[in-house]
Amino acid sequence: MSEPAVTVARYLGTTTAEGPGVRTAVWVQGCTIRCAGCFNPHLFAVEGGVPWSPAELAARVLSEPSGGLTLLGGEPFDQAEGLAAVASQVRAGGRSVLTFSGYTHASLRRAAAAGRPGVAGLLAATDLLIAGPFQRDRIDHERPWAGSTNQEFVVLGDRFPDLVHWREGAVDRLQVDVDRSGTVAVNGWLDTDRLDALLAALD
Ligand code: SF4
């Protein structure tokens, strides 16, 4: 039986703003967690996005000049079955997988133990999990990539042996892309005040 398609809201072939080194970032459509203050409320609805077969998506990721895949959302574990297939193929191709989730690691382990489809598989194919809901009253100004201080860094695989080194040397980055039509697309992490100031400066 083939895995379900993955609904992709945004695909970025290379970025240095979504984890250690150069990575391919995939934002999935749909999030049932809906944290207050989420930066991506347009990704809450399951409607929208573009369906990709897991095999197509994994092949595209493996064609990029990047060190691995970062899954963001939306909520990756709301599409765990399809993404487990993508992530395992990316790892089989020698790349790393970083998965962001609004669920805590403990709740994901419980879901995996209860047999929720794809959850055990996506955990097994994730090297670094950054887990927990975004809490806007606990903005994280210290750790790269995390939005709020409650979020956990959980090393699950062997592809980030230098994570401590990466975190010591890393800073939050923001990537701003402007296409020929003038459309601005932003990714990475910056708190709201600094992001507003930057976008105002961009006019
Ligand atoms: S889990 Fe992530 S995408 Fe979902 S509401 Fe929270 S911050 Fe936003």
Split into its structural domains, the chain has a count of: 1
pLDDT at position 189 = 67
In a domain, 178, yes or no: no
Q: How many CA atoms lie within 13 A of 20 on its CB side?
A: 21
| pLDDT, block means (10 residues), the chain with 203 residues | 90 93 96 94 94 98 97 96 98 96 98 98 97 95 89 89 68 72 73 70 67
Cα radius of gyration (the chain) = 16
In a domain, 1, yes or no: no
In a domain, 179, yes or no: no
Residue nearest to atom 1 of ligand 1 (CA): 102
Q: What CATH number does residue 16 fall under?
A: 3.20.20.70
pLDDT at position 3 = 87
Q: How many CB atoms lie within 10 A of CB 181?
A: 5
Q: 64 is in which domain, residue-wise?
A: 6-172
Query: How far apart are the CA of 129 and the centre of ligand 1, in A?
Result: 14
pLDDT at position 180 = 76
In a domain, 77, yes or no: yes
Query: How far apart are the CA of 132 and the centre of ligand 1, in A?
Result: 9
Using DSSP bridges, classify how beta strands 128-131 and 152-155 pair: parallel, antiparallel or unpaired: antiparallel
Residue nearest to atom 2 of ligand 1 (CA): 102
pLDDT at position 76 = 98
Distance (Å, whole) CA 181 – CA 158: 42
pLDDT at position 169 = 64
pLDDT at position 142 = 84
